[in-house]
Structure 1
Amino acid sequence: MARSLDGLVLSPVADQAPGQVGTRTRFTYHEQDGTVWAEYAGGDVVRGHLVGTRAGDALDFRYVQLKRDGTTSSGHCRSTVTDLADGRVRLEERWEWESQEGSGTSVVEELPSDGLSDE
Structure 2
Amino acid sequence: MAGSLEGRILVPVADQAPGQVGTGTRFAYHEADGRIWAGYEGGDVVRGHLVGTRDGDRLDFRYVQLTRDGATASGHCASTVEELPDGRLRLHERWRWESRPGSGTSVVEEPAAGPSAGTEPVTSG
In structure 2, runs of 5+ residues without a counterpart are 121-125
Distance 1:41 1:17 in 2: 16
- TM-score when scaled to structure 2? 0.91
1:27-67: CA deviations, max 9, x gaps? 00000000000000000000000000000000000000000
- TM-score when scaled to structure 1? 0.96
Instruction: Indicate the residue corresponding to 1:109 in structure 2.
Output: 109
Distance 2:83 2:60 in 1: 18
CA contact (8 A) 2:34 2:54 kept: yes
Alignment pair present for 1:38 and 2:43? no
Q: How many pairs does the alignment contain?
A: 119
1:111, distance to aligned residue in structure 2 (A): 1.7
CA contact (8 A) 2:25 2:41 kept: yes
Instruction: Indicate the residue corresponding to 1:24 in structure 2.
Output: 24
Instruction: Indicate the residue corresponding to 1:3 in structure 2.
Output: 3
Alignment pair present for 1:89 and 2:89? yes
The one-letter code sitting in structure 2 at the alignment partner of 1:85 is P
In structure 1, runs of 5+ residues without a counterpart are none
Distance 1:61 1:23 in 2: 21
Runs of 4+ in structure 1 off by over 2 angstroms are 112-119
The one-letter code sitting in structure 2 at the alignment partner of 1:83 is E
Identity of aligned residues (%): 71
- Cα RMSD (Å) of the superposition? 1.4
Distance 1:29 1:70 in 2: 24
1:23, distance to aligned residue in structure 2 (A): 0.4
